[in-house]
Structure 1
């Protein structure tokens, strides 16, 4: 998702490269270099001996833990995660508060609640999903047993996995989630392979390195869980320096994994990252960060990288997976929208860009709209108002000022708001969109590009434009009113199948795909060591499904009470709590997390009451 200060070269989120135009990886396993053996860690001239000794001790502790992990039964692993759950509950409030303060938000800021959902809420959702999967496997039942499987376009099997429980239908009312498997995977294969590493729990465990993200606090924790359960791989987690203040909280929340040697958490900058990625002890590396950081790890920097790439001789000889971000489209399919629809979806788009001050790998960046839509002007007026009036907050991520300066230089006619901390770039037919479409600004920069057409013609053109012009393959958003979707019929589903993105949100935001860990998270298949685009492999995926291609979240186009309309997905939510202008967003976000923590009915009633006033 964000930049990682984990490589030999400390970088910001760099311009993402364009996607491969054709072809796909045969699976989403780790990419493996061709060199015959891993090298020993090279002693960094800037790394003190004491630091190297501490890092080696952390690695040795996890190596020792591999023996204990392989002896645990599936039921014992489920009980271990119950202990992790209890520890997270005790730390949740401190976790959310510390994360908010680190980003310059105090308790009076209306966006304080973001850190509940982006931290302990997502982690608790994942823990509950993994416990359910472990218990199913322990009784000889496939994790997919309770899911509905059907056919998706292109010969794909689709698993309807969300809502997973009856309460999901209330708390995320109107939202449904699907995991699509790669073409060629059969229904029987999907069921038989669900469980990944936990199908063979007694296989020898290995040790991997997780280079954590710096923007969303759930990311490194969720990555560690997935490594452990999908691959029986114990982790040394190096946190990004932006999360150093969270480390004591992580250590308490994850103490049940740390105590037996299943996990160690270390800190440090690029020198520590360089030492660890070169260490011979690791069988695998996973990074969440920028493509420049990935390349520095795999190929080196400067002339060395050029030489190695040309020779096909990567510096890193260890298999690696990665999640690296990109430029996310928001495709606005023209239809007949009411004034309330225009205002609501404008607020929705502002949220996609401004959540976490735009420091998200799946922050919507390019709005694709029809220049022939009769309501185009009304839509853009609503978007300008929603974007400019959203609550102000610090632009806190390192190097963000430079990204905003770059946007100002790229587009001197951009509209600036919030004390010149957010830009709206509206491009005409003859304007150059290259910088907007190939630079992941990782800051509050939102652009609008126009294409001709209406209906299926526009949708197909917008999908092709997103696939071919925008950098990256991580997440795409599509907004479409129910009457237009009904009119397009199978053509709409075919267009969605053509979108080459690992996460797709229809009348939702891909950030909710990330925060719903029963869904997979990662780039569309096709990334390689030489052309990594948005990454290699997936994480999350609490059902532990094999050969995942993408996940799709579908939401309601209209909120309550307008969700009572014809063909509209029903929702009880007047406005989801993650919207940046939700008046009760903080209270509802905290309340949803506390429901996950304690399952208190009075607390749930109070939360739903607040949600109705959002």
Structure 2
């Protein structure tokens, strides 16, 4: 039976890759205008089938169709994909006109590095995400002139294709696999065999409808099945490159194999995989809380903010906050911890849908038996009172579950901030994302030292008074690990995705947001109009706002904005 199943799988894979080999020839002859038209059609189909997409994702995760939590599926599913398609389409339009995608970009500087402002980039951004900003930092030595000249990546020579890329999709966020597919197709000019994660196999029917223009041209094929199918796909001689999203353990199993043989291969520098691989992996994401003088409203809001960083999508995010680093000498430490526990406790309950979640939670509770059980069914774990000597497991194990730990370091002010950055850089596994929460007065008091702290952090996305997921949702931002990882120490991965302006040699993305939501932001002279963001797990109108934002992303119209604003203000 196994032999028959293997033969059937090989037949499906062979047929898909044969189709893609023919599709690559068609793709090489398709001009930029034709490519842009295809992406525009995919975006229109995303809008048409968005409800079906969200309904399938909600069923996978066991969400009640009437729950505000369905807003997560709108925002991190069709909304994220539609906004990215629009941004990539504009990039192709610029290249078609012989103009760099960065021709009108705002360049700046951070230390001795050149930066590119990637949010806001339009009046729509200014209105919908008022108070938020994101900048890409280019690698050291890259000038603004070089960035302009090289923006476009493989689309600078669209006739030169690069074979077939195999994309191994993620099982948690439903837009990851579609976004990675488009990035392979556009940034690297590779046709794509997308293998869905078995968790997301129920999305196949709607994804086939949305990707129909690219499937019809035979530049995309979507496969389902288990690890055996993925293994056969990436080992196929017709596959030139592999991109995966998942864990470092899965990456190493793909690259080196498993067991003693894998150890020997790694020691010899002889990977089992015989082709290049890029990856977006997880890790232990920290949130650094700088001590300051906060109001009661500030404490409640930031507690909900950090609870969201952990509990969004049930905690099954590669960039979910896991280690909160605070000052043991902060005068408001106890107030903050009380507010954080309350926010975790009252957030909506949900099913632990991701495989292995209960085992990982149990492992955390075994390591930290004094941890608190919170939530309606005690499904959340809060570990407090940790000093650095007791935090090793929290620092090194990505729980990928609703587990949050709080680590206390000595000192306050610049001394604490520096120690927190050192801890994040040197002690925690992974480099995908780090959050910093700081009162504007604290940032002002640190002055240039605060910017030095950001420069010292070695993470692919840094968020100040925002969650790093804002970088994920910003199509012109980059998403991926801090550069420099290798196959034998992959950490949070190799390479970047998203990056709709197709910028070369990126180091990181830095996101900044308001410390307070509107209207309190205005009353405290922050001049930010954004109310409680729709991605907060406590947002009461998240589902409606997410649906309205998705419709706008698929087909922007000024007439759609009043309803979005009205829904957002009620959140």
2:131 aligned with 1:177, yes or no?
no
Higher relative contact order (CA 8 A, sep 6+): 1
Task: Please tell me whether the aligned partners of residues 404 and 441 of structure 1 are also in contact (alpha carbons under 8 angstroms).
Answer: yes
The one-character-per-residue Cα deviations of 1:451-484 (angstroms, maximum 9, x if unpaired) are 1122211111110000011110000000111111
Pairwise CA distance, 1:46: 7.8
Rate the CA distance shift 1:352–1:603 in 2: closer, same or farther, 3 A.
same
Partner of 1:90: 48
Structure 2 CA distance for partners of 1:78 and 1:190, relative to 1, 3 Å? same
**Cα distance in 2 between the residues matched to 1:431 and 1:416:** 23
Q: Work out whether residues 171 and 592 of structure 1, in 8 Å CA contact, stay in contact via their aligned partners in 2.
A: no
Could you give the per-residue CA deviations for residues 416-447 of structure 1, whole angstroms, max 9, x where no partner exists? 01212110000333761111111100000000
User: Is residue 110–residue 391 contact of structure 1 (8 Å, CA) maintained in 2?
Assistant: no
Relative distance call for 1:331 and 1:600 in structure 2 (3 A) is same
Q: How far has the Cα of 1:612 moved from its partner? A: 1.1
**Corresponding residue of 1:203:** 160
Of 311, 322, 341, the match for 1:365: 322
Q: 1:430 to 1:496 in 2, by over 3 A?
A: closer
Residues 126-173 of structure 1 show CA distances to partners (whole Å, capped at 9, x for unaligned) of 0011011000111111111111111112x2110011111101111111
| 1:317 and 2:274 are equivalent in the alignment | yes
Q: Equivalent residue for 1:554?
A: 512
Deviation at residue 572 of structure 1 after TM alignment: 2.2
- TM-fit CA distance, 1:601: 4.0
Counterpart CA distance in 2 for 1:470 and 1:502 is: 14
Q: Match of 1:67?
A: 25
One of 50, 54, 57 as aligned partner of 2:12: 54
C-alpha deviation, 1:74, in angstroms:
1.3
Note if 1:500 corresponds to 2:458.
yes
- Helix, strand or coil for the counterpart of 2:408? strand
- The whole-number CA distance in structure 2 between the counterparts of 1:540 and 1:488 is 33
- Look up the match of 1:480: 438
Contact residue 177 and residue 519 of structure 1 kept, 8 A: yes
2:298 is the counterpart of 1:302: no
Following TM superposition, by how much is the alpha carbon of 1:583 offset from its aligned partner in structure 2, in angstroms? Answer: 1.5
Query: Over aligned residues, Cα RMSD in angstroms?
Result: 1.3
Deviation at 1:567, TM superposition (A): 5.0
Kindly report which structure 2 residues correspond to 1:11-410, keeping only aligned pairs within 5 A, or say none. Answer: 47-153=5-111, 155-410=112-367
Partner of 2:476: 518
Query: Could you tell me how far 1:205 is from its partner in structure 2?
Result: 3.9
Secondary structure (helix, strand or coil) at the match of 1:236 reads: strand
| C-alpha separation in 2, matches of 1:412 and 1:110 | 33
Offset at residue 278 of structure 1 (A): 1.1
| Whole-angstrom distance in 2 between the partners of 1:286 and 1:373 | 43
Q: Is 1:510–1:553's contact at 8 Å kept on the other side of the alignment? A: yes
Structure 1 runs (4+) deviating above 6 angstroms are none
Residue 602 of structure 1: CA displacement? 4.3
Rate the CA distance shift 1:430–1:51 in 2: closer, same or farther, 3 A: closer
SS in 1 for 2:390: coil
What is aligned with 2:390?
432
Aligned equivalents of 1:609, 1:602: Cα separation in 2: 13
Whether the aligned pair in 2 keeps the contact of 1:47 and 1:272 (CA below 8 Å) is: no
What's the TM-score once normalised by structure 2's chain length?
0.98
TM-score using structure 1 length: 0.91
What do the CA deviations read for 1:168-188 (whole angstroms, capped 9, x no partner)?
Answer: 111111111110111111111
1:588 is matched with 545
In the alignment, does 2:437 pair up with 1:457? no
Displacement, 1:335? 1.0
Structure 2 partner of 1:612: 569
* Cα deviations by residue, 1:323-349 (Å, 9 ceiling, x for unpaired): 111000000011111110000000000
Task: After superposing the two structures, state which structure 1 stretch, 423-432 or 291-300, moved more.
Answer: 423-432
CA distance in 2, matches of 1:428, 1:269: 39
Deviation at 1:100, TM superposition (A): 0.9
Q: Which runs of 5+ in 1 are unaligned?
A: 1-43
The Cα of 1:47 is off from its aligned counterpart by 4.2
Structure 2 residues without counterparts, runs of 5 or longer: none
**Residues 73-106 of structure 1: per-residue CA shift (max 9 Å, x gap):** 1112111111111111111111011101110002
* Secondary structure of the corresponding residue to residue 466 of structure 2: coil
Cα 1:46–1:347 shift into 2, 3 Å: farther
Per-residue deviation, 1:607: 2.1
Conserved 8 A contact 2:388-2:408: no
Could you tell me how far apart the structure 1 residues matched to 2:386 and 2:22 are? 61
| Secondary structure of residue in 2 paired with 1:119 | helix
